Amino acid sequence: MPTLSFAADIRPLFRPSDVGTMKPIGLDLSSYEEVKSNAAAILSRLEAGDMPCDGGWAEASTQKFKRWMDEGMPA
């Protein structure tokens, strides 16, 4: 199984509306550094189903995000 990357696998999971909603409150979901720095909090919200605010991700997407974290969060 190939290693996941932020650019190819994780960034596309965040819709433009997700980025637009979070940026004004201080989290740029299009930024590798910001997502990496906040990955544990993001995963917690994804697993709780309260991110994004209009309905949680599919389980496969949440697991992809977790796997990316487990792989060391490559850019």
Kindly report, residue by residue over 29-46, the tens digit of the pLDDT: 999 999 999 999 999 999
CB-count exposure of residue 39 (10 Å: 0-12, 13-18, 19+): middle
- The helix or strand, by DSSP H or E, that contains position 64, with its residue range, turns out to be helix 59-70
* Domain contains 16: yes
Helices 59-70 and 39-48 cross at an angle (nearest 10°) of 160
* Domain contains 75: no
Take residue 32 and report the two structure tokens written for it: 């590798």
* Domain contains 23: yes
Q: What is the pTM of this model?
A: 0.94
* Domain contains 34: yes
What pLDDT, on the 0 to 100 scale, is given for residue 1?
81
Q: Tell me the residue range of the domain where 57 lies.
A: 6-70
Q: pLDDT by residue (tens digit) across 18-33?
A: 999 999 999 999 999 9
Give the total number of structural domains in the chain: 1
Q: Tell me how far apart the alpha carbons of residues 75 and 68 are, in angstroms, rounded to a whole number.
A: 10
